[in-house]
Amino acid sequence: QVTLKESGPVLVKPTETLTLTCTVSGFSLSNARMGVSWIRQPPGKALEWLAHIFSNDEKSYSTSLKSRLTISKDTSKSQVVLTMTNMDPVDTATYYCARIERVCSSTSCYYWFDPWGQGTLVTVSS
Amino acid sequence: QTVVTQEPSFSVSPGGTVTLTCGLSSGSVSTSYYPSWYQQTPGQAPRTLIYSTNTRSSGVPDRFSGSILGNKAALTITGAQADDESDYYCVLYMGSGILVFGGGTKLTVL
């Protein structure tokens, strides 16, 4: 059974750096076809993809947040870490990690998220 | 920046059929965007329904189907049930590893 679990602070202050950890089980972060994505959802609003990382350390970031995000992994611990700098109250959201699967042909790849973690609510407030 | 568009809300009668769409603020959605669809009920994590336009995720009933209709991706639900009442999100692949969510559609079954 594949599971993902997010952990990190419940409350951060404006300008601080957020560090979230996703611990996975049921699959390996060394699997070339699978990686981990971070997605967030402000209260009452839509989902927003943030970043993902694959076994070969290939990383992608949201265009609008790229300057503030860093994603990394520790395969031996089955963990993926997301840091987001300069937190602001508008970054208050539930942060989800999800397994991202990738299938590539000679010309392109496609991706999907499955399954998802339960999410962790992060509030940004002084 | 290209925005992924979805109907903000939709309603369907129990037993009815509804088609939700996923478009682009500029341009047409094709299979090359590899659309995927996710269902989210309040307070819960999303559940994967469809990926690569029309491939159902494991365990998803065949009442849910994906396609390209005209210039948009589409999610069709047939035989709507009360527990289909949820928010539905599409995701499009923009290339270079970039994925973008739509704004979501709130589906009411009544």
Q: How distant is the Cα of A39 from the closest Cα of chain B, in angstroms?
A: 10
Mutation site for A-interface testing, chosen from B22, B29, B47, B48 by largest number of A Cβ within 10 Å: B48
Residues in A closer than 8 angstroms to B51, CB to CB, are: 101, 110, 112, 114
The tens digit of pLDDT for each residue in B50-91 reads: 999 999 999 999 999 999 999 999 999 999 999 999 999 999
pLDDT over threshold 90, residue B2? no
The nearest alpha carbon in chain B to A44 belongs to B42
Query: What pLDDT was estimated at residue A106?
Result: 86
Mutation site for A-interface testing, chosen from B98, B100, B105 by largest number of A Cβ within 10 Å: B98
pLDDT over threshold 80, residue B1? no
The whole-number mean pLDDT for each consecutive block of 10 residues of chain A, a chain of 126 residues, reads 97 98 96 95 98 95 97 97 98 98 90 96 98
Query: What pLDDT was estimated at residue A14?
Result: 97
Q: Is A113 on the interface with B (CB under 8 A)?
A: yes
Residues in A closer than 8 angstroms to B100, CB to CB, are: 49
pLDDT over threshold 80, residue B43? yes
CA-closest candidate to residue A80, choices A121, A117, A43, A41: A117
Q: How far is CA A92 from the centre of its chain?
A: 15
Query: What pLDDT was estimated at residue A105?
Result: 87
Which H or E element spans position A84?
strand A79-84
Q: Is B89 on the interface with A (CB under 8 A)?
A: yes
The mean pLDDT of B14-26, rounded to a whole number, is: 97
Contacts of A66 (CB under 8 A, 6+ apart): none
Query: What pLDDT was estimated at residue A42?
Result: 98
B34 and A117 in contact by Cβ < 8 A?
no
Instruction: Give the mean pLDDT of chain B.
Output: 96
